[in-house]
Amino acid sequence: MGVEIERKFLVDHDKWGKVVKPTGTHYRQGYLLADSGRTVRVRISDNDAFINLKSKSTNVSRSEFEYEIPLEDGRAILDSFTTIGTEKTRYEIPHAGKTWEVDVFKGNNEGLIVAEIELESEDQEFEKPDWVTTEVTEDGRYTNAALAKHPFKNW
């Protein structure tokens, strides 16, 4: 069983605009299950597809299982079995020996930019880039599953 330990932060839009970024990856994802503390998600990019299962352990840690599936299957599952989802471009930004995953949301979540850092333990120390602002790890509204159900544009 895999365990994901991550912290989540909002991003200063002005400072983010000045960051030199690599090419981002466009993701479309949909949920087969999204309830209190459990999700089953399919995510596709232009090149690959994954099915992902998560269950909440703490606000920072989750059990996680992720498996690559054929891209055509991922597209078919998204189109035929999901009714809620999100769309975003993800950028991987190295900083102080860690990789920050920055999601720039599209569609109903346009205007939201969230940065995540995966850690090896819940109490691991790390350095934040200057474009990272308020921590929202414990605010459930910022999970992708919650954004699929209650988009940022409706807040």
Provide the 8-state DSSP code for 127.
P
Measured distance CA(124)–CA(20) in Å, rounded: 27
Helix intervals (H) in the chain: 13-17, 71-81, 144-149
Measured distance CA(133)–CA(110) in Å, rounded: 18
User: Which one from 31, 67, 91, 142 is the annotated catalytic residue?
Assistant: 31
Q: Are the beta carbons of 44 and 71 closer than 8 angstroms?
A: yes
Provide the 8-state DSSP code for 129.
P
* 27 annotated active-site: no
What are 133's two structure tokens? 């602002």
Q: Residue 91: beta bridge partners?
A: 102
- Cα 106–Cα 110–Cα 113 angle in degrees, nearest 5: 90
- Catalytic residues, by residue number, are 31
